Amino acid sequence: MGTRALRGREIWQDASGEKGGAAEKNFYEILKKEFEGTEFRIRPKPRELKGIYSKVELSDDVSKKIYNPKVTWIHGIVPDYAIDNTKTGKTLFVEIKRQDGWVEGKKPSAGRGNAHERSNKLFTPGLLKVLREYGKLGNDVLPFWVVFQGDIARDPKRVREIHLWYGDHLAHFFMWSDSTDGAALINHFNKYLRKLMTKE
């Protein structure tokens, strides 16, 4: 990739990052207000998973084949939010994925980007196991909620991809095409996710 293309990419990433930050803040403010006076709370950037990768024990056979310095770093994940039920001790981890998309007046190439694909790490067997241990929601549900925001939430290609990926787990993603519509967001949480966090 040439210098000009890299500069253009950096500008695009900066703009995308600013829009993503605004979407996250709006999400947080809406749910924080909704949870006031209830057993629910929302925490930004939960830190309990930040070192999960650095704690992975490798077999001697694998260790011999890689660069293997003494582990002195912290390597893991920090989701955008965690929603806790303070009575049941259950936690739902939340990722906000803002991405452009192919909608009216745009070309299909407007749907480029891989934020939605990067969220699929949450489906991997090892990470699912860890998230379930921390979230205490049980093994029959996904321990996370991904909120897709921006034009991706109306992109005919990306919406179909996401529906196929999640299959019967429709509760665990939300297409938030209008981030000013807090009622739709709250309705989704109350209809699908609240009960997962309240059952004993």
CA 94/CA 174 separation, integer angstroms = 11
Angstrom CA distances, 65 to 55, 57, 59, 76, stand at 18, 14, 10, 22
Domain ranges of the chain: 21-48+77-198
Q: Do 183 and 134 meet the contact criterion of CB atoms below 8 Å apart?
A: no
What CATH class is the domain 21-48+77-198?
alpha beta
Distances (CA, A) of 163 to 36, 154, 168, 170: 32, 12, 9, 7
Quote the tokens at residue 22.
Answer: 């605004």
pLDDT tens string 154-166: 999 999 999 999 9
Would you say 102 and 110 are in contact if contact means Cβ atoms under 8 Å apart?
Answer: yes
Q: pLDDT by residue for the chain (200 residues), tens digit each?
A: 555 555 554 543 444 445 545 556 789 999 999 999 999 999 999 999 999 999 999 999 999 999 988 889 999 999 999 999 999 999 999 999 999 999 999 999 988 888 899 999 999 999 999 999 999 999 999 999 999 999 999 999 999 999 999 999 999 999 999 988 999 999 999 999 999 999 87
